[in-house]
Structure 1
Amino acid sequence: MHTINQSKNKRSDSSSPLERRLGGEAALTAIFDVGKTNKKLFLFDEQYNILHEESSKFEEIKDEDGFECEDVHALTEWIKNSFDKVCSNPSFNVKAVNFSAYGASFVHVDENGNPATPLYNYLKPYPEKLKQQFYNTYGGESLIARQTASPVLGSLNSGMQLYRLKCEQPDVFKRIQYSMHLPQYLSYILSSKPTCDITSIGCHTQLWHFQKNNYHNWVQAEEIDKKFPAIFNSNAVINIANHKNNIAVGIGLHDSSAALIPYLKLFKEPFVLISTGTWCISLNPFNTTVLSDYELHNDCLCYLSYEGKPVKASRLFAGYEHEQQVKKLAAHFNTGEDYYKTIVFNHSLLKQSDRQHVIKNISSQSAMVQQSAFANRPLQNFKTYEEAYHQFMSDIIAQQVFSTKLVLANAPVKQIFVDGGFGKNDVYMNLLAAAFPGIEVFAASIPQASALGAALALHNHVQGSASAIPNLINLKYYPCKTMLSL
């Protein structure tokens, strides 16, 4: 395990400014933000400033089939030890703790509260024969996908992991007292209270029937629902005594849902959030229409917000595509790989005819996982890096518009917010603004969005409902500067 501690919190005569300012009095909220690679601990003050941060990594282990997976025992000990450390520090007055973590992952505990299986990796291949058995029994892939608002994704449909466990390891399945998604297990480590949370159940699990607003009938038919604890509100807490404080322990949130909370708290007008990274995910919390087969084919899904409301989402593999293409551009034009960061938007470098040709062809394929049209463009056709890069981003935006319009259909919005890497990309942002001339487009900057969202979920418990939430999001407006339309 590798740990980085980014604040000095040793008590001494020459105490740090942080310690002198805290004085053991300010109410702090601790947040464990657990990703596949990095595990982080944050302490937020009452204004949601990050006062303390720790980051750890764990070596993966292998399950009984030799497939790599999270070391749930190491993770458990890190949670316990890190929490005890900050609570016992007299400089930190921790009043609440919550958790955000990646989804599609179950921890199954026995009657003694210990993990009964490995924490299986959601990337583990799913047996084709078992998959066919399941869908043949319960109405077919299309029906299940529409009812559960999730594409067929194998182990990424976490409910299918439980079905597999029951079929392949029935003795182990019988030993399970509770099955909890990872965020709720992290809460259980400290509270000893098993819980279910709607943000974990309702995110591409194939467990939840979105029209009936309950577990799907297959879950009850297989008696898998008997392994689930009661469903708690996403802002619920369990109070525990720890050192000098009574501490409110949140029940945990799926990280994608947690990252949306700051926007839902601060903006009431309908909006779409495009969260950009390896994937560019368009999230519309104001679109409650039932997913069509066409949308599911194009990798759309719905998940449930912390308020229990459907959020329609579409995905585009644009961050990965960008990473690959800028390497090719750097090699061809003999520049550094990050040269694109110096480029500012220049309307005169765009070739509208090429762009319109791309748009016409996207609808006949899944835009989400395909390479952009730029992958097939000869680089020798471009005189400069700048010209090539503008064409590349034009091709990416053509895909982005196709993807985002899937969640805009029948649910018009007034604003689009872009966070993550592309929000800092001047060419991307200007092209996006041009593509949606009737919608205000903003780059949004928010530090540690999923951790902040988990902290905000406990706002009323820590500060009371009368306490206002400060403005936590920095926005940069991009007006429509061109006459291009998509």
Structure 2
Amino acid sequence: MKQKVTAVFDIGKTNKKFFLFDEDFKQVHKEYIHFDEIVDEDGFPTENLPALQKWLKEVFSLILKAEKYDIEAINFSTYGASFVHIDENGDPLTPLYNYIKPIDQKLIDDFFAKYGPKVAFLKQTVCSDLSMLNSGIQLYWLKYRKPEIFKKIKYSLHLPQYLSYVFTGIPLSEYTSIGCHTALWNYDKKDYHDWVYAENLHKILPPIVSTETSINMNYNGKRIKIGVGIHDSSAALLPYVRSVKKKFALVSTGTWSIVFNPFAKKPIADNTEDGNTINYMRINGKPVKATRLFLGNEYKIQVKKLDKHFGVSDDFHRNVSFDYEVFFEIMKDFQPCFKWESITVPNMPKKTKITYNKFEHAYHQLMIELVTLQLESIKKCIGTDDVKRLYIDGGFSNNDLYIKLLSHYFRGMKLRTTDASLGSALGAAISISDKKLNSKFLKENYSLKKHVPFILK
């Protein structure tokens, strides 16, 4: 008898993963692939959308034929701030523009001249200074910088919804993608911002449905429930919200490290001036206060430089464990050493200066400095809210230094880590399921681990 499963495509910037989960949300199958980036018409690196689409279809087709599994449902979790613009035939009109692609300042100035004042606008949409990272601004950019393409757009779909569209042919929007620093949503009105209607963009944005929506379809002769997709950060939060009854904050780590506070007394962030206090939306449209830090990106840049400086292999850092003596040696006369490339902080050194003769010491210094930034991000998100539990998931949940340092600095909180690879994918599976989660869910499905601070000598 075939095993009943839910399939999930979990699409990150680097790795594209495919999971199968059984009826208790246990992982029974996983595979992943990496695609080299291609370039857009301006020569800027971007996702290889044709290769991604081909892989989705091939993997799903093979798994449908497998004798072992009976696929009952499929859903999609992907990174945000990314639109696929399709024509009347459903074909993409543009590359999947990279959210770090620069936009000319004149366009942003023109936007605020029309729809400002700036501070009020950013507060209403809970965004930082506008850029391609705000997917709504990408629509504005297309309209005024590439009007010949814009005229051909039938629908603009956020990436999770485009992947769903690949399988269903039904264009839809949902809350978690709209609410993710898009500059599209007015959190006070709980509707698209007035500028969206003024520019007639609502006409190319498909109908909004709950993230829990699924479409029952006959796919290649098989009856399958197909989800509408979910933004990966909101997906990562969902299993915690559904299974943890006490107040907590979640630090979801990866290229971006996002801190979520679902229990904020004031969920709509009002201190957006620094650019890193933002809002996400839960699957029902409720706001979640969050802060962000480009932690994984900066880590990758700096580790690469350390590898080169010390002549070690690119995976050497994975085997460095926390060393109590090295930590206290560094902290005794602490001085910052690193000049960040993708993070801006006051009083940063003008140039990186490595004074150590061992990789391990320099790596400890790097992690102390990065974790200091993470501490500030967590404290800013929690504020004065009475939160005593901290969950860490994503790539850094397996980093010994990151976890030891966080547990040291948050000695008064209960710190837990969960399995690094499952967060967003499990959230996507749960979002289209009717099954209730109990308090043991994280322990049984997420390899929940407790961490205690190291003993001070």
Normalising by the smaller structure, the TM-score range is 0.7 to 0.9
Q: Which residue of 2 aligns with 1:195?
A: 172
3-state secondary structure, aligned to 2:418: strand
Corresponding position: 1:478 with 2:456: no
3-state secondary structure, aligned to 2:391: strand
Q: Which residue of 1 aligns with 2:96?
A: 119
Question: How many pairs align?
Answer: 449
Q: Which residue of 2 aligns with 1:343?
A: 321
Q: Which residue of 1 aligns with 2:383?
A: 409
Deviation of the 1:455 alpha carbon = 0.9
Check the 8 A contact 1:298/1:367 in 2, yes or no. no
Q: TM-score, normalised by structure 2?
A: 0.86
Question: 1 CA distance for matches of 2:45 and 2:309?
Answer: 37
Deviates more, 1:384-393 or 1:405-414: 384-393
Q: Which residue of 1 aligns with 2:199?
A: 222
Check the 8 A contact 2:87/2:155 in 1, yes or no. yes
Q: Which residue of 1 aligns with 2:249?
A: 272
Deviation of the 1:122 alpha carbon = 2.2
Task: Read off the aligned partner of 1:105 and give its amino acid letter.
Answer: S
Task: Read off the aligned partner of 1:133 and give its amino acid letter.
Answer: D
Q: Which residue of 2 aligns with 1:138?
A: 115
CA deviation vs aligned residue, 1:73-94 (integer Å, no higher than 9, x gap): 4433333333233223343211
Question: 1 CA distance for matches of 2:221 and 2:175?
Answer: 32
Q: Which residue of 2 aligns with 1:72?
A: 49
Q: Which residue of 1 aligns with 2:398?
A: 424
Residues 282, 368 of structure 1: alpha-carbon distance in 2 compared, 3 angstrom cutoff = farther
Question: 2 CA distance for matches of 1:329 and 1:175?
Answer: 47
Corresponding position: 1:178 with 2:155: yes
3-state secondary structure, aligned to 2:226: strand
Question: 1 CA distance for matches of 2:305 and 2:100?
Answer: 28
Question: 2 CA distance for matches of 1:322 and 1:73?
Answer: 30
Check the 8 A contact 2:87/2:154 in 1, yes or no. yes
CA deviation vs aligned residue, 1:297-335 (integer Å, no higher than 9, x gap): 152211112232222222334444445555666777787
Residues 371, 246 of structure 1: alpha-carbon distance in 2 compared, 3 angstrom cutoff = farther
Q: TM-score, normalised by structure 1?
A: 0.81
3-state secondary structure, aligned to 1:268: coil
CA deviation vs aligned residue, 1:41-85 (integer Å, no higher than 9, x gap): 222222323333333344544444444433434433333333233
Residues 483, 72 of structure 1: alpha-carbon distance in 2 compared, 3 angstrom cutoff = same
Question: 2 CA distance for matches of 1:98 and 1:215?
Answer: 25
Check the 8 A contact 2:393/2:423 in 1, yes or no. no
Q: Which residue of 2 aligns with 1:292?
A: 270
Residues 167, 52 of structure 1: alpha-carbon distance in 2 compared, 3 angstrom cutoff = same
CA deviation vs aligned residue, 1:423-468 (integer Å, no higher than 9, x gap): 33344323322322321112322432211211111221xxx55999
CA deviation vs aligned residue, 1:121-160 (integer Å, no higher than 9, x gap): 3232212221111011101332221111111241111001
Q: Which residue of 2 aligns with 1:459?
A: 433
Question: 2 CA distance for matches of 1:124 and 1:475?
Answer: 37
3-state secondary structure, aligned to 1:241: strand
Task: Read off the aligned partner of 2:411 and give its amino acid letter.
Answer: P
Check the 8 A contact 2:268/2:288 in 1, yes or no. no
3-state secondary structure, aligned to 2:167: helix
Deviation of the 1:225 alpha carbon = 0.9
Check the 8 A contact 2:215/2:227 in 1, yes or no. yes
3-state secondary structure, aligned to 1:116: coil
Question: 1 CA distance for matches of 2:269 and 2:416?
Answer: 27
Residues 441, 57 of structure 1: alpha-carbon distance in 2 compared, 3 angstrom cutoff = closer
3-state secondary structure, aligned to 2:127: coil
Deviates more, 1:276-285 or 1:217-226: 276-285
CA deviation vs aligned residue, 1:104-134 (integer Å, no higher than 9, x gap): 1112222232223333332322122211110
3-state secondary structure, aligned to 1:474: coil
Check the 8 A contact 1:101/1:183 in 2, yes or no. yes
Deviation of the 1:354 alpha carbon = 4.4
3-state secondary structure, aligned to 1:154: coil
3-state secondary structure, aligned to 1:122: coil
Q: Which residue of 2 aligns with 1:447?
A: 421
Check the 8 A contact 1:193/1:238 in 2, yes or no. no
1:70-109 equivalence runs, <5 A: 70-109=47-86
Q: Which residue of 2 aligns with 1:29?
A: 6
Corresponding position: 1:310 with 2:287: yes
1:247 to 214, 220, 224: 224
Unaligned segments of structure 2, at least 5 residues: none
Task: Read off the aligned partner of 2:269 and give its amino acid letter.
Answer: L
Question: 1 CA distance for matches of 2:209 and 2:131?
Answer: 27
Task: Read off the aligned partner of 2:117 and give its amino acid letter.
Answer: G
Residues 366, 135 of structure 1: alpha-carbon distance in 2 compared, 3 angstrom cutoff = farther
Deviates more, 1:60-69 or 1:151-160: 60-69
Question: 1 CA distance for matches of 2:394 and 2:437?
Answer: 31
Residues 157, 353 of structure 1: alpha-carbon distance in 2 compared, 3 angstrom cutoff = same
Check the 8 A contact 1:433/1:478 in 2, yes or no. yes
Question: 1 CA distance for matches of 2:149 and 2:57?
Answer: 26
Check the 8 A contact 2:297/2:342 in 1, yes or no. no
Question: 1 CA distance for matches of 2:229 and 2:420?
Answer: 20
1:225-236 equivalence runs, <5 A: 225-236=202-213
